[in-house]
Amino acid sequence: MEKMKLPKLSLGDDIAELQKKAIDGLKADEPVYKVIHDDLQLSLGQVKESLATLLDYQEDFHYCEKCPGFEACNKANPHYEMSLALNDGFVTRNFAPCRVVKKLVDHETRFIVRDFPSEWQDITMKKIDKTAKRKAAIVKLAGISSKPSNWVYLTGKNGSGKSFILATFANAYAEKNRGCAFCDTSSLIDRLKDLQINAKKDFDERFDQLLKCPLLVLDDFGNEYKTEFVFASILFPLLNMRAKEGLPVCIASDFSISEIADMYAPKIGPTRANQLKNLLQARCEKEIDVTGLNVY
C-alpha cells in the first residue's frame, strides 16, 4: 500500500507576523536582549526555537523589576526569579530565590535576636533629624567602631526615639558584624529565665551567644522583672563578662543609671546595686538624653 503523503506544514502569515513582533519586542527590550545576545549569544534560529521560553523570561524579569513586595507576589512560582542557560544548544529555564527573599534571609543572619519592628530593617541613620542631641548620640555610637569597650546609654521620655536610633545603628553595625542582638530587655530576661529553669543546655547556648555577639543592644532597660535570681544569674554576668571582653553594649532606657540602681537596690541590696551602677557609669562614661529628638 502506498503511503499517504502529508502536506508540508508551514507557519501562516498571521503566526509568522506574531513571531516577528515578538522577536522585535525582545530586541527592543535592552536588558532582556543583553541576556539573549551578549550572555547566551543565541542565533536567530535558536531565538525562534526558544521563543516561548524567552517570552516567559521577559515577563518574569519585568514582574520582578517592579516587585510588588514579598506578601503581594502572585507569580506562578512566587518568590523565585527565572534565569536562562544554554545547555547543548537548547535554552533552559532555571529558578532561584528572588532578591527579596535573599535580602530577608541576609537580614535575618545579621541578628541572633531582633526585637524591633520589621519596618525598621532597612532604616538608616539618615532618617533621624540633624539636631545637637542627634549629633551627640551619633558621635558616641560611631565611636564603638574604633573603641568597642565604650558603651552607649541613651535616656529620654517614652517616644523620644531612643529605640529607633539604636535600631538604625544596629542595622549598620550588623552589616559588617553578623550575629548581633537587639533585645527588648523584659522579653530577653523572660526567655532566659524560662530556659534556665526548663532547658539548661539551651540556656547555656543562648547565653554564650549573647556573651560573644559583636553588638548587644538592651532596649527598654529598667522595665524588666527585677529579682536576685535575674540579677545574679543573667543580667550582671552578661554585662560584666562583656565589659571584661571589651565587647560593645548599647542601652536605651526611660531611666538614668542612678535610677536603675535605686530600683534594683530593694531586690539585691545597695552594695550590689552600686556595683551595677559603677559598671554602667564606667563603661558608658555619660548618659545621653535624647528627649525632644524628632524622628521621621
Q: What is the model's pLDDT at position 161?
A: 85
pLDDT by position in tens, the chain (length 296): 444 444 444 545 577 888 889 899 999 999 999 999 999 999 999 999 999 999 999 999 999 999 998 889 998 889 999 999 999 889 999 999 988 887 777 777 899 999 999 888 878 777 666 666 667 888 889 889 888 889 999 998 887 789 999 999 999 999 889 999 999 999 999 999 999 999 999 999 999 999 999 999 999 999 999 999 999 999 999 999 999 999 999 999 999 999 999 999 999 999 999 999 999 999 998 899 988 645 44
Whether residue 79 sits in one domain with residue 109: no
DSSP type of residue 6: P
Q: Distances from the Cα of 250 to the Cαs of 44, 89, 259, 270, in angstroms? A: 61, 58, 17, 24
Please indicate, yes or no, if residue 231 is contained in any of the structural domains: yes
Grid cell 547543548 is found at 88
Q: What is the model's pLDDT at position 185?
A: 97
Q: What is the model's pLDDT at position 160?
A: 79
Please indicate, yes or no, if residue 282 is contained in any of the structural domains: yes
CATH number at residue 215: 3.40.50.300
Q: Which domain holds residue 114?
A: 104-289
Q: What is the model's pLDDT at position 219?
A: 97
Q: What is the model's pLDDT at position 123?
A: 81
Cα(76)–Cα(15) distance, rounded to whole angstroms?
A: 26
Name the domain count of the chain.
2
Q: Distances from the Cα of 296 to the Cαs of 119, 153, 159, 164, 291, in angstroms? A: 13, 21, 12, 10, 15
Whether residue 277 sits in one domain with residue 135: yes
Whether residue 206 sits in one domain with residue 191: yes
* Strand ranges in 156-285 using DSSP code E only, listed in sequence order: 180-184, 216-221, 249-253
Q: What is the model's pLDDT at position 12?
A: 53
Q: What is the model's pLDDT at position 7?
A: 45
Backbone phi, psi, residue 94, to 5°? -125, 145
Whether residue 158 sits in one domain with residue 75: no
Where is 81: in which H helix or E strand?
A: strand 80-87
Whether residue 227 sits in one domain with residue 128: yes
Whether residue 22 sits in one domain with residue 143: no
Closest to 234 in 3D by CA, of 266, 178, 276: 276
Q: What is the model's pLDDT at position 296?
A: 42
Cα(199)–Cα(194) distance, rounded to whole angstroms?
A: 8
Terminal CA-to-CA distance of the chain, rounded, Å? 87
